[in-house]
Amino acid sequence: MVDSHYQSIIDYLGPNGFLENKLKNFTYREEQLQLSEEVYKAFFNNEFLAAEVGTGVGKTYAYLISAIFWSIETGQKVIISTKTKALQQQINDRDLPLLKKVMAESFVYAEAKGRENYICWNKYMRILSGKKSLNIEEEKFITSILKWAEKTKTGDRKELSLTSNEMSRWYLVSADRKSCLKEKCFYHEKCFRLKMIKHLEKADLIIVNHALLLSDAIVDNSILPEYKHLIIDEAHTFDRESFDKLSVTLSITETLDILNSLISSKNSGYLFYLKNQFPAFSSQITHLIISIERQLEYTEALFNCFNQAFNYEKTYSYNHVLNNNDYDSEWFTELIDVYLEWQHNLNSIINELININEQTNLSDGDNDLTYMLNALIEIGDNAFIILEENLNKEDTIHWLNFNNGNVCELCSSIINVGNKIKEYVFKDLDSLIMLSATLTVNGDFNYFLKKNGLLEYTDCQRINLFLKESPFNYDKQAKMLLVEDIPDPSSPIFESEVVLALEETIKSLKGNILVLFTSRKQLYEVTLQLRKKLKNDNVTLLVQHEDGEFKTLIDKFTNTRSVLMGLDTYWEGLDLKGDILKCLIIVKLPFRSPSEPYSSSWEKYYIKEQKNSFLNYMLPDAAIKFKQGIGRLIRSENDDGIVVVLDTRLITKNYGKVIKDNSPIKSIEKISKQQIQDVINHWFK
């Protein structure tokens, strides 16, 4: 590298460098310095970089230092996107302030946040001037934020220290896309969200989360200033989040709520208010009310077509991906007939509302009418995309979400999101850096590159690949036990065998155990049996969905000897150092359910490509998730622990080797349930 800042990076991150001398917990790591150089090289050469770096390398400082120097040198902005708001806050509230303090170079950073974080002046002032009626609880909430609202300089809800119950009424005053009056807003100059956006223009580094980055790129480009350099941390989930963001939904509840708010049954709906305010429009509004009543019936009829076709039990709350049989069936033809009437009537309602709005000039200061109009337009647009535009396209899928046996949402998305990510986010970038501890399958980046639409960049050699294993000594710090006398997960006695294995582990450790599940039903069944067995033991069982929210469970797990059992969210993002977590139990290999829309989308894609979807999608996806789960165990050089795997397919199936080999733990032992206690006791003696 020829650039002068290369030396600066060494000065900061190198052995005996500034950071090692100035920051208490900072240790020089060769891998970190190499990563930082690679990141800088990508900026310098207008290249893309995909980097997998194991836990403990210190990737955050590696890319922050490079981004700071690049931005200082060129005056160009670098956007840093993280998956979770927690990491976004950690970078914004801890890492960057620390670097700013110890670095001689001056730089500006800012956090980009979604509009729902900010108070909307127009909504707030309408409430204060009595233009919106509130119930007692809502009034209490407004009273509790009065002082803050008068003196806040940011308008950011994070400054409020109210309970989550009190904050549940934040929606009354929060900025939102559908109700924003934009340049027509009387408080435009004072708008906190717009101030935040202006502030971003002055920043060298902008910290954002994936959801906001994607919304901005896909929906309206209204938040982030123009940028050419993007760092995506926790990049292993970026395609999945893109799939969700690119999905379009028609929700029965949202549709009925909006319609009802216009004509609520006690004659107190918005249109009755309008009728009183503008008697001259009385007959027009009466006609509109009749159309809305009809629209309510059409909406019920539309969703009833699905409910009659799929007569699921009242407890069913999953999804169903529509297939060719569904599209060819009689009920689907009827559904389309109902939909066409529904859409036609909705369009006339929207036109009528626009008419009234134009004649009364109401929406000039009225968020409510703006919100309702925008919401109805969006509902109509979404239904059009789902039931007309996307319907016969080969590269889309449709699915239904159920709640208690009834269809609550109709959704559609595209298959192979990679092409769309490229189009919306990557296409115009000069440099892109994607990092995570889990991008590859046994060192191969192809699965990740394919999912994210980056494979073609390898052909023109625009993308560099960087792979560094964790500096931790896994051979000494961890061991994996494969319990081989448990039947296959499809066996009816699998859950009771899992309970026996858990009991053995608990007898030995009495707590500090994390058990990872892949199915809610299985978690429920195992919990039921285990609670009975542990009744007289002095061990606390903490179960997701039963014993509290994520943060509560983690706090309890950290402070008591307990066994924590959870699903998806516990497979990643947990950072429990030291003795808090001694043993990690993986109940089943983390294959996604093939009926999940995201899995179905890839299955459809590979069928179309005449390729094996299991080998190309299901297996690499599970191997990466397995590695993510394993990654919870060893979080520092001083940690040690045991992983116990209760799914014998890891031993008996050929594909088990792919998953096993992708794990950083190479010390593996096959044991029986009876041996669990001895082996664990021996490990920790």
Please choose, out of 180-188, 355-363, 385-393, 441-449, the segment that lies near ligand SF4 by the rule CB under 6 A.
180-188
Identity of the residue, 22 or 177, whose beta carbon is nearer to ligand SF4 in the bound complex: 177
Q: What is the 3-state secondary structure (H, E, C) of 342-389?
A: HHHHHHHHHHHHHHHHHHHCHHHCCHHHHHHHHHHHHHHHHHHHHHHH
Spatial separation of the C-alpha atoms in residues 668 and 339, rounded to whole Å? 57
Least distance from ligand SF4 to the Cβ atom of residue 204, Å: 26
- Which one of 9, 120, 400, 564 is in contact with ligand SF4 (CB under 6 A)? 120
Please choose, out of 117-125, 327-335, 551-559, 643-651, the segment that lies near ligand SF4 by the rule CB under 6 A.
117-125
The burial of 490, by beta-carbon neighbours within 10 Å (0-12 exposed, 13-18 middle, 19 or more buried), is given as exposed
Please choose, out of 164-172, 188-196, 465-473, 517-525, the segment that lies near ligand SF4 by the rule CB under 6 A.
188-196
Q: Binding to ligand SF4 by residue 227, rule CB under 6 A?
A: no
Least distance from ligand SF4 to the Cβ atom of residue 146, Å: 17
- Which one of 59, 83, 157, 193 is in contact with ligand SF4 (CB under 6 A)? 193
Identity of the residue, 191 or 565, whose beta carbon is nearer to ligand SF4 in the bound complex: 191
Identity of the residue, 115 or 451, whose beta carbon is nearer to ligand SF4 in the bound complex: 115
What is the length of the chain? 685
Spatial separation of the C-alpha atoms in residues 242 and 220, rounded to whole Å? 15
CB atoms within 10 A of CB 238: 24
Q: Binding to ligand SF4 by residue 175, rule CB under 6 A?
A: yes
CA–chain centroid gap for 65, Å, is: 26
Identity of the residue, 193 or 398, whose beta carbon is nearer to ligand SF4 in the bound complex: 193
CB atoms within 10 A of CB 125: 16
Q: x/- site string to ligand SF4, residues 343 to 372, per CB under 6 A? A: ------------------------------
The burial of 677, by beta-carbon neighbours within 10 Å (0-12 exposed, 13-18 middle, 19 or more buried), is given as middle
Residue with tokens 């996806």: 621
Least distance from ligand SF4 to the Cβ atom of residue 374, Å: 12
Q: Following CA atoms 335, 337, 342, 345 in sequence, which dihedral angle do they give, to the nearest 10 degrees?
A: 180
Structure token pair of residue 432:
């892109």
CB atoms within 10 A of CB 254: 16
Least distance from ligand SF4 to the Cβ atom of residue 559, Å: 41
Q: Binding to ligand SF4 by residue 646, rule CB under 6 A?
A: no
Structure token pair of residue 8:
């600066």
Identity of the residue, 369 or 425, whose beta carbon is nearer to ligand SF4 in the bound complex: 369
Identity of the residue, 216 or 639, whose beta carbon is nearer to ligand SF4 in the bound complex: 216
Least distance from ligand SF4 to the Cβ atom of residue 348, Å: 28
Least distance from ligand SF4 to the Cβ atom of residue 191, Å: 3
**Measured CA distances, 344 to 69, 297, 350, 623 (Å):** 57, 14, 10, 48
Q: Binding to ligand SF4 by residue 181, rule CB under 6 A?
A: yes
Please choose, out of 128-136, 182-190, 351-359, 482-490, the segment that lies near ligand SF4 by the rule CB under 6 A.
182-190
673 φ, ψ to 5°?
A: -60, -40
Please tell me what DSSP assigns to residue 174.
B
Least distance from ligand SF4 to the Cβ atom of residue 376, Å: 18
Structure token pair of residue 542:
């903490």
Least distance from ligand SF4 to the Cβ atom of residue 184, Å: 8
Identity of the residue, 45 or 374, whose beta carbon is nearer to ligand SF4 in the bound complex: 374
Q: Binding to ligand SF4 by residue 122, rule CB under 6 A?
A: yes
Interface with ligand SF4: number of residues (CB under 6 A): 11
- Which one of 94, 140, 158, 188 is in contact with ligand SF4 (CB under 6 A)? 188
User: How do beta strands 48-53 and 431-436 pair?
Assistant: parallel
Please choose, out of 173-181, 295-303, 478-486, 638-646, the segment that lies near ligand SF4 by the rule CB under 6 A.
173-181
Residue (of 474, 504, 507) closest to 671 by Cα position:
504
Strand, helix or coil for residue 643 = strand
Spatial separation of the C-alpha atoms in residues 150 and 456, rounded to whole Å? 53
| Contact status, residue 309 vs residue 303, Cβ threshold 8 Å | no
Least distance from ligand SF4 to the Cβ atom of residue 357, Å: 16
CA–chain centroid gap for 248, Å, is: 16
- The amino acid at residue 180 is C
Strand partners, 53: 468
Angle between helices 252-263 and 367-384 (to 10 degrees): 140
Q: Binding to ligand SF4 by residue 32, rule CB under 6 A?
A: no
Least distance from ligand SF4 to the Cβ atom of residue 438, Å: 38
Identity of the residue, 193 or 635, whose beta carbon is nearer to ligand SF4 in the bound complex: 193
Q: x/- site string to ligand SF4, residues 129 to 168, per CB under 6 A? A: ----------------------------------------
Identity of the residue, 180 or 212, whose beta carbon is nearer to ligand SF4 in the bound complex: 180
**Measured CA distances, 243 to 122, 382, 393, 411 (Å):** 34, 16, 17, 12
Q: Binding to ligand SF4 by residue 180, rule CB under 6 A?
A: yes
DSSP code string of 90-121: HIIIIIHHHHHHH-SS---EEE---GGGBB-H
Please choose, out of 96-104, 114-122, 213-221, 396-404, the segment that lies near ligand SF4 by the rule CB under 6 A.
114-122
Residue (of 428, 34, 35, 97) closest to 230 by Cα position:
428
Residue (of 125, 73, 32) closest to 365 by Cα position:
125
Q: Binding to ligand SF4 by residue 468, rule CB under 6 A?
A: no
Least distance from ligand SF4 to the Cβ atom of residue 213, Å: 20
- Which one of 39, 145, 191, 554 is in contact with ligand SF4 (CB under 6 A)? 191
Please choose, out of 119-127, 377-385, 577-585, 599-607, the segment that lies near ligand SF4 by the rule CB under 6 A.
119-127
Please choose, out of 82-90, 175-183, 449-457, 544-552, the segment that lies near ligand SF4 by the rule CB under 6 A.
175-183
Identity of the residue, 36 or 367, whose beta carbon is nearer to ligand SF4 in the bound complex: 367
Integer Rg of the chain from CA: 28
| Contact status, residue 343 vs residue 380, Cβ threshold 8 Å | yes
Least distance from ligand SF4 to the Cβ atom of residue 193, Å: 5
Structure token pair of residue 401:
């979400």
Least distance from ligand SF4 to the Cβ atom of residue 185, Å: 3
- Which one of 9, 50, 112, 185 is in contact with ligand SF4 (CB under 6 A)? 185
Q: Binding to ligand SF4 by residue 187, rule CB under 6 A?
A: yes
Residue with tokens 């016969």: 392
| Contact status, residue 434 vs residue 232, Cβ threshold 8 Å | yes
CB atoms within 10 A of CB 681: 12
Least distance from ligand SF4 to the Cβ atom of residue 364, Å: 11
Q: Following CA atoms 14, 20, 25, 27 in sequence, which dihedral angle do they give, to the nearest 10 degrees?
A: 30
| Contact status, residue 179 vs residue 371, Cβ threshold 8 Å | yes
Structure token pair of residue 4:
């002068």
Identity of the residue, 191 or 624, whose beta carbon is nearer to ligand SF4 in the bound complex: 191
Q: Binding to ligand SF4 by residue 223, rule CB under 6 A?
A: no
Least distance from ligand SF4 to the Cβ atom of residue 123, Å: 6
Least distance from ligand SF4 to the Cβ atom of residue 180, Å: 3
Please choose, out of 174-182, 202-210, 495-503, 642-650, the segment that lies near ligand SF4 by the rule CB under 6 A.
174-182
Interface residue list for ligand SF4 (CB under 6 A)? 120-122, 175, 180-181, 185, 187-188, 191, 193
